[in-house]
Amino acid sequence: MGADIRVSIIMGSKSDDEHMKPTYDLLDRFEIGWEKRVLSAHRQPDALLAYVKEKNNSNVQVFVTAAGLAAALPGVVAAHTIRPVIGVPVPGGPLNGMDALLSIVQMPGGIPVATVGLGSNGPKNAAMLCVHILALSDDGLRSKLVSYRDELSRG
């Protein structure tokens, strides 16, 4: 976690932390400052709102939200910021995360949440979306991204 926090990762439950490890690892690889918080949209609505408002007045440029089951967290965050919000559905529960995926992807018009897939690629792609977004205004990061994509193409 770097001192210049540009990505805020919010999870609805402590149990989501292990699922999100690929996000942390890729953000570290690209030397992007991030922080994580566990704040439930249902159990801690006031604390969540205060945190998002605080981050709206900081260097945070992207929110990554991990949620399972009803997955209200990404939508609640998106309702309180104009920064990009990326939703990561967490597998679990009786529908193994399909309910979370559908909850996150079905946001009302005008309040978007970029949604990644279920499984291990979801957290990785959330980090990569952060990199792509931040690279739009950061030439050094853009160069690292191009090198990374070249590396991927070589297998």
Using H for helix, E for strand and C for coil, what is the string for 20-69? CHHHHHHHHHCCCEEEEEECCCCCCHHHHHHHHHHHHCCCCCEEEEEECC
What averages of pLDDT result for each successive group of 10 residues across the chain (155 residues)?
82 96 98 98 97 97 95 97 98 93 94 96 98 97 97 89
What's at 102, amino acid-wise? L
Domain membership of residue 135 as a residue range: 5-153
- Which CATH number fits the domain that encloses residue 34? 3.40.50.1970
Paired tokens of 102: 């559908």
Considering its fold, how many domains does the chain have in total? 1
- How many residues in total does the chain contain? 155
Rounded to the nearest 10°, the torsion over CA 137, 134, 87, 108 is 0
pTM exceeds 0.75:
yes
